[in-house]
Amino acid sequence: MQILSSILFIALTVAGFGLFAINAKKIYRNIKLGQPVNCTDRYSERIKNMLLVAFGQKKMFTRPVPALLHFAIYAAFMITQIELIEIFIDGIFGTHRIFKEPLGGFYTFMISLIEVLSVAALTATIFFLSRRNLLKLPRLNMKELLGWPKKDANLILIMEIVLVLCIFTMNGTDEALYNMGKSHFEGQGSFNFAISQFIGPAVFGSLSEGTLHILERIGWWGHFIMVLTFLNYLYFSKHLHILLAFPNTFFANLNPLGQFNNLESVTNEVKLMMDPNADPFAAPAPDENAVPSKFGASDVMDLNQVQLLNAYSCTECGRCTSVCPANITGKKLSPRLIMMKTRDRLEEVGKNIDTNKGTFVEDGKTLLNDYITPEELWACTTCNACVEECPIEISPLSIIMDMRRFLVMEQSAAPMELNTMMTNIENNSAPWQYSQMDRLNWKDEN
Amino acid sequence: MSESLVVPTMAEMMARGEQPEVLFWVGCSGSFDDRAKKITKAFVRILNRANVKFAVLGTEEGCTGDPAKRAGNEFLFQMQAMMNIQVFDGYEVKKIVTACPHCFNTIKNEYPDLGGTYEVVHHTQFLKSLLDEGRLTIEGGQFKGKRITFHDPCYLGRANKVYEAPRELIQKLDAELVEMKRSRANGLCCGAGGAQMFKEPEKGNKDINMERTEEALDSNPNIIAAGCPFCNTMLTDGVKFNHKEGEVKVMDVAELIANAQDL
Identical fold for domains B10-130 and B137-260, yes or no, is yes
pLDDT at A45: 96
The C-alpha atoms of residue A162 and residue A149 are separated, in whole angstroms, by: 20
Q: Are A164 and A120 in contact (CB under 8 A)?
A: no
Q: Given a cut of 70, is residue A106 above it in pLDDT?
A: yes
pLDDT of residue A81: 87
Inter-residue contact A183 to A97 (CB < 8 Å): no
Q: Please determine, for residue A285, whether its predicted confidence score (pLDDT) is greater than 90.
A: no
Q: Which residues from B are below 8 Å from A328, CB to CB? A: 188, 208, 211
Give the pLDDT score at A271. 87
Secondary structure class of A35 (helix, strand, coil) = strand
Which phi and psi (to 5°) does residue B226 adopt? Answer: -130, 165
Burial class (CB in 10 A: 0-12, 13-18, 19+), A94: middle
Q: Number of Cβ pairs closer than 8 Å across A and B?
A: 216
ipTM of the complex: 0.96
Closest residue of chain A to B206, computed from CA coordinates: A329
Answer yes or no: is pLDDT of B165 > 90: yes
Rounded (10°) angle between helices B253-260 and B34-49: 50
What integer pLDDT is reported at residue A269 of this predicted model? 85
B112 touches A at CB < 8 Å? no
pLDDT at B169: 96
CATH of B137-260, one of 3.40.50, 1.10.150, 1.20.1070, 1.10.3470: 3.40.50
pLDDT at A82: 86
Q: Which CATH architecture has domain B10-130?
A: 3-Layer(aba) Sandwich (3.40)
- Identify the H or E element spanning A92: helix A64-93
What is the per-residue burial (b if ≥16 Cβ within 10 Å, else e) of A117-134?
Answer: bbbbbbebbebbbebbee
Q: What is the pLDDT of residue A288?
A: 64
**Using one digit for the tens of pLDDT, what is the confidence trace for A396-411?**
999 999 999 999 999 9
Cα–Cα distance between A146 and A165 in angstroms, integer?
Answer: 29
Pick the closest to residue A50 from A241, A242, A252 (CA basis): A252
- Nearest CB to A409 within list B73, B108, B201: B73
Domain ranges of chain B: 10-130, 137-260
CATH superfamily of A264-275+293-436: Alpha-helical ferredoxin (1.10.1060.10)
Q: What is the DSSP letter of A372?
A: B
Element (H, E) at B150: strand B147-150
Closest approach of B73 to chain A, Cα-based (Å): 6
Helix %, strand %, coil % for chain A, to 5? 70, 0, 30
Residue B11, pLDDT > 50, answer yes
Task: Give the torsion through C-alpha atoms of A361, A239, A372, A250, to 10 deg.
Answer: -90
Chain A CB contacts of B62 under 8 Å are 429-430, 436
Taking CB atoms and an 8 Å cutoff, what residues of chain B touch A379? 201-202, 204
| Number of other CB atoms surrounding residue A150 within 10 Å | 17
pLDDT tens, residue by residue, A19-71: 999 999 999 999 999 999 988 899 999 999 999 999 999 999 999 999 999 99
A373: pLDDT strictly greater than 60: yes
Domain-wise residue ranges, chain A? 2-32+63-238, 264-275+293-436
Q: Which of A268-277, A339-348, B247-256 has the lowest mean pLDDT?
A: A268-277
Report the alpha-carbon distance of residue A154 to residue A160 in Å, rounded: 10
User: Which amino acid type is present at position B261?
Assistant: Q
Considering only CB atoms, B110 lies closest to which of A262, A330, A401, namely A262
- Per residue in B206-228, pLDDT tens? 999 999 999 999 999 999 999 99
pLDDT, mean of residues A238-259: 97
Report helix angle B123-132 to B253-260, nearest 10. 40
* Residue B65 contacts A where some CB pair is shorter than 8 Å: yes
Q: What is the greatest pairwise CA distance in chain A?
A: 99
For A415-434, write each residue's pLDDT tens digit.
Answer: 999 999 999 999 999 999 99
Single-letter code of the amino acid located at A280: P
What digits encode the pLDDT tens for the residues A189-220? 999 999 999 999 999 999 999 999 999 999 99
Task: Assign a CATH topology to domain A2-32+63-238.
Answer: Fumarate Reductase Cytochrome B subunit (1.20.950)
B2 at A interface, C-beta within 8 A: no
Please check whether residue A276 touches B, CB under 8 A. Answer: no
B116-138 mean pLDDT: 96
Distances (CA, A) of A220 to A5, A11, A64, B115, B121: 12, 16, 34, 63, 62
pLDDT band at A291 (very low <50, low <70, confident <90, very high): low
Residue A251 has pLDDT above 60, yes or no: yes
Task: Write the DSSP symbol of residue A436.
Answer: G
- B-proximal residues of A, 360-419, CB under 8 Å: 375, 378-385, 387-388, 401, 404-409, 414-415, 417-418
What's chain A's average pLDDT?
A: 94
pLDDT exceeding 90 applies to what percent of chain A? 91
Contacts of A78 (CB under 8 A, 6+ apart): none
Q: Which of A286-295, A416-425, B13-22, B158-167 has the lowest mean pLDDT?
A: A286-295
Q: Contact A255/B194, CB-based, under 8 Å?
A: no
pLDDT band at B2 (very low <50, low <70, confident <90, very high): very low
**CB–CB of A384 and B159 under 8 A?**
yes
Subunit contact A381:B191, Cβ cutoff 8 A: yes
pLDDT of residue B1: 46
B219-245 burial by CB neighbour count: b if 16+ within 10 A, else e? Answer: eebbbbbbbbbbbbbbbbbbbeeeebe
The pLDDT tens digits of the residues spanning B88-97 come to 999 999 999 9
Q: What is the DSSP letter of A260?
A: P
Using 50, 70 and 90 to split pLDDT, how confident is the model at B242? Answer: very high
As a residue count, chain A comes to 446
